[in-house]
Amino acid sequence: MNAEVEDNRRTLASDMRRAWLVELRRLLFAVGGGWLVGFLFSAPHLGMAAGLLLLVSFHLRLLYLLARWSLNPHRVELPESGGVWGEIFEGLYATQRRARQRKRKLASILAEFQASTAALPDGAIVVTPRGHIAWFNTAAQGLLGLRSPQDIGARINNLIRHPGFQRYVEQADFSKDVQLPSPLNAQYTLNLRLIPYGNGQRLLIVRDVSEHQRLDRMRRDFVANASHELRTPLTVLSGYIEMMHGEAGRPDSALAAWSAPLGEMRGQLGRMEHLIGDLLKLARLESDTPAPRNEVIDMEKLLLDAVRQAQTLSRGAHHFDSAIDETLLLYGRESELQSIAINLLSNAVRYSPDGGSIRLEWRTAREGGSEYPLLRVEDSGIGIEAESIPRLTERFFRVDVGRSRATGGTGLGLAIVKHALEHHEAELSVTSEPGEGSAFSCHFPSYRLYREGEQRRVG
Ligand code: ADP
């Protein structure tokens, strides 16, 4: 390959040398010829000047033709010429040929790309840095009702007017996606995701997730209905067992021998009731809307109640300490905030050995210049291995199943916490050291913060 390039270079250099010799010959011919003709008419200098004038006119003509060609290279042809001009024209033709070939290749790549994206079941829309539609495929027409070519060049925000989409574009966090009802039929749900690429361009991918949602809803309804149906027979059973266990406790009772098994049955029934309660709570959380942004919750009262419940569970075996900023209130939903606090505190009790300490903090923290509310529950318990931390909020995930069951755990507590936090646009972060303890921090967004005495948000 290198030898070929070297050969080419050598040929070009020798062509160029030859071309300059032609030019030199032309010059000598013009000067010499002019001198000779002038000499015949006894005016050799005039003859030389005329010869040079002819040569300059020849070059000017070719320069003019080159300038004309450069203005319209597709219509106008360059003349055949020898010498340096011939080399220049040849070089320009070669460059033009290469550019044409490259253009054809790009056009065929583009056509292939458009044909393959047109066949995609997902909608694909190319959005310019200024938010205008540059191109879309056939699926995008079907999903969003875009029309070709009328909507090319239109602003994407004018065509997808749902507030959820406008917020998504403004927030510009393109690691996330957004779910919206289809503008053509509200029964269908679309999933939209903007993918930035190139120089500020974005690709909007639109997917119909209605079927996925329907299946998800069926699964949720099934769990909620099954749990609900199980609740009534369990309550009846539990009532009888409770009564029989009480009866078996009397020394002269016919059921005295059944006291231990009845006690075990009572314990297991209690666990089942707890499990069903948690399943129903999760189902409710999944179908509920985000927490209201105009209802103020008295966090001090709510958190003190939760601490009292945790102390009852601890039966005095742990040391409690709380630091609550009583002026700090939160816009949110009370039942969900209760669930968050109670689950985190009861976990701290259940996973800390007797004598351990538990600390609850309700304060603000700062990040990037803004202040946001933070709920933190810290314990000096058994801790969690780093590899288990990302899985803690999965349903039924337990680091130690035996310990969780023995302390009355359902494996759903942190899943409930995660969902309740999502309803408040809040995030959970966990730090832990095995054998040292754990800290669970809930970071609420700053717009949910409400300081006592401030004007309340309405509506
Ligand atoms: P469970 O009902 O089993 O406690 P959770 O969803 O509340 O279910 O918690 C999931 C798992 O996370 C627990 O089984 C436990 O292994 C671990 N875990 C939760 N909180 C703590 C904590 N404070 N200290 C140590 N491990 C914890």
> pLDDT tens across 92-106, in order?
888 989 999 999 999
Mean pLDDT for 243-247 is 91
Q: Does the beta carbon of 358 lie inside 6 Å of ligand 1?
A: no
Mean pLDDT for 211-238 is 92
The DSSP string of 257-285 is: GGHHHHHHHHHHHHHHHHHHHHHHHHHHH
CATH number belonging to domain 120-208: 3.30.450.20
Mean pLDDT for 193-216 is 92
pLDDT for 404-459, tens place per residue?
888 889 999 999 999 999 999 999 999 999 999 999 999 999 999 998 777 776 65
Whether the pLDDT of residue 243 is over 90: the answer is yes
Residue closest by Cα to atom 2 of ligand 1: 409
pLDDT for 105-120, tens place per residue?
999 998 898 788 878 8
Whether the pLDDT of residue 192 is over 80: the answer is yes
% the chain with pLDDT above 90? 66
> Mean pLDDT across the chain, nearest whole number?
91
Q: Which of these CATH numbers, 3.30.565.10, 3.40.50.800, 2.70.98.10, 3.20.20.60, describes 296-451?
A: 3.30.565.10
Give the global pTM.
Answer: 0.69
Among 296, 280, 406, 273, CA closest to 351? 406
Residue closest by Cα to atom 25 of ligand 1: 383
Residue closest by Cα to atom 3 of ligand 1: 411
Confidence band, pLDDT 50/70/90 cuts, at residue 264 = very high
CA–CA–CA angle 97, 102, 106 (5° rounding): 150
Kindly list the distances between the CA atom of residue 257 and the CA atoms of 79, 186, 239, 263, in Å, as whole numbers in the listed order. 118, 63, 20, 11
Confidence (pLDDT) at 74: 80
Among 160, 161, 173, 217, CA closest to 425? 173
Q: Does the beta carbon of 400 lie inside 6 Å of ligand 1?
A: yes
Confidence (pLDDT) at 67: 92
Residue closest by Cα to atom 11 of ligand 1: 398
CATH topology of domain 212-287: Helix Hairpins (1.10.287)
Confidence (pLDDT) at 353: 96
Residue ranges of domains in the chain: 2-109, 120-208, 212-287, 296-451
pLDDT for 133-150, tens place per residue?
999 988 999 899 999 889
- 317 C-alpha to center of ligand 1: Å? 19
181: tokens are: 């009802």
